[in-house]
Amino acid sequence: MKGTAAIIGGGVIGGAWAARFRLMGWNVRVFDPDPESERKLSEVMANARRSLPGLYEVALPAEGGQTRHATIAETVAGADWAVESVPERLEIKHRVYREIQTAAPGVVIGSSTSGFRPSELQEGAIAPGNILVTHPFNPVYLLPLAELVASPANPAATVDRAAAVLSAIGMHPLRVRKEIDAHIADRFLEAVWREALWLVKDGIATTEEIDDAIRYGFGLRWAQMGLFETYRIAGGEAGMRHFLAQFGPALKWPWTKLMDVPEFDDELVDLIAGQSDAQSGKYSIRELERIRDQNLVGIMRSLKGYAGDPKAGWGAGALLREQDRALRGPAPDLSQPIPTVTRAVPLDWTDYNGHMNEARYAQAFNDASDRLMELIGIDGDYIGSGKGTLFTAETHVRYLNEVNIGDTIAVTTRVLRAEGKKIHLWHEMRVGGALVATGEHMMLHVDLATRKTSDPAPEVAARLAAIAAAHAGPLPEGAGRFVGQPK
């Protein structure tokens, strides 16, 4: 499904809506009186282009176009869908709806409101049944949740069409069963926000400490299993019912400032336990634990970022990077083949056979090259100062044996040649002492300003020359081979 979306209000939320629609092949028409809106829209779109396509294993459709218009009436002319993201003032929204529906009474309007109920939005409207809530989360072009809230005035067909439009642009339309102020997700956020304010006011924690409590702990679990599935696992093999029996009474304890809690009776226990069984009962607790663990590994490894990126490392990822440095130990003896990588094969490096996939061999050898770069002085400071960096010009990987999930791989690196701009590296990967793969890299020192080859800084060239001299000797077996060469 593709079409034309009218974006009324091109700020933080509206601009991100526009980016998602465009990247999913829709044309967008934008109205925003802010004279800076063109710049802001282009900057948000640039961020979206950089990030959203990477979520998918297939290419996105051809990007839709964008036009800006001087009036709301011009913007909604010919539109298949309208997004309202104007300020959270009911009188402004009502005025905008009148303008939209005067010009295009048949267009469905999805409001980004985080708090108003659809029945409030529909008051005095020309076509109230065409106005509903489609509340997203920032950044809209990445986060898939859209709370879809309707009132009795919305025909079922209109709600279904709204769900279809949201699904077509890669979002998850969460149909809220009943109208309620702030819908579902923001009510959770509001409760957490209120408690956080009390913790700061009472001197219990700083803002950073509260953020740490979320990003190092339950926030990671919630990101991949939500609230109830997380607590189901906490109940062990007896599941949700056991968890409720263990921790339900705590609701009456004065742990929080928010003490208006529902009566924790058998009816509520049965309701929650039954819904939890329907949600997750097809998996055993051990299976849920393994799924949880694999998801957490992927999330936290992603938070680490790339080793050479000085801006990488957020939340738990920053902690992991520090632990990497601590576990690495002192600098190795550079006169011998250099130990550059020692690590267990993580869950997300394996294929459907449980083997490390081909790309991850290359990743391990890339990490080995990065480690050598650090050891010879081509680190973040060197690169940031404009002295240059190393680019890989050629790579040849030989796969000699299987590597399985959980195996500890050890990579050593030799500098076979270091002559001016060229560096010739040889990597050997072992598991338990047995050679399982080799990697051969030809690297070039490059000036990042000109994007042309250049000589490394004298101190780097001297280190490389010394290492190459120490590593001199007969070429290792397999060096210089080409693909398909007879043995």
Model confidence over 20-42: pLDDT tens digits? 999 999 999 999 999 999 999 99
Per-residue model confidence as pLDDT tens digits over 143-192: 899 999 999 999 999 999 999 999 999 999 999 999 999 999 998 888 88
d(CA 356, CA 406): 10
Domain boundaries, the chain: 4-176, 186-288, 330-470
Under DSSP, is residue 110 helix (H, G, I), strand (E, B) or coil? strand
d(CA 381, CA 392): 20
d(CA 197, CA 404): 48
Q: What tokens were used for 243?
A: 């968890």
Helix (H) or strand (E) holding 359: helix 358-376
Tally of CB atoms within 10 A around 323: 11
pLDDT tens for the chain, 487 residues long, are 899 999 999 999 999 999 999 999 999 999 999 999 999 999 999 999 988 988 887 789 999 999 999 999 999 999 999 999 999 999 999 999 999 999 999 999 999 999 999 999 999 999 999 999 999 998 999 989 999 999 999 999 999 999 999 999 999 999 999 999 999 999 888 888 888 888 888 888 888 899 999 888 888 888 888 888 888 888 888 888 888 887 777 666 666 666 666 676 788 788 888 888 888 888 888 788 878 877 887 888 888 876 666 677 877 888 888 877 777 778 899 999 999 999 988 877 888 888 899 999 999 999 999 999 989 999 888 888 888 999 999 999 999 999 998 899 999 999 999 988 999 999 999 999 999 999 999 999 999 999 999 999 999 999 999 999 999 999 999 998 888 888 7
Alpha helices by DSSP H, listed for 281-310, are 285-304
Phi, psi of 8 (to 5 degrees): -100, 105
d(CA 465, CA 416): 10
CATH topology identical between 4-176 and 330-470: no
Q: How far apart are the first and last CA of the chain?
A: 54
Enter the CATH code of domain 4-176.
3.40.50.720
Task: Report the 3 state secondary structure along 438-472.
Answer: EEEEEEEEEECCCCEECCCCHHHHHHHHHHHHHCC
Q: What is the pLDDT of residue 464?
A: 94
Under DSSP, is residue 89 helix (H, G, I), strand (E, B) or coil? coil
d(CA 128, CA 182): 20
How far, in whole angstroms, is CA 304 from its chain's centroid?
12
Enter the CATH code of domain 330-470.
3.10.129.10
Helix (H) or strand (E) holding 387: none
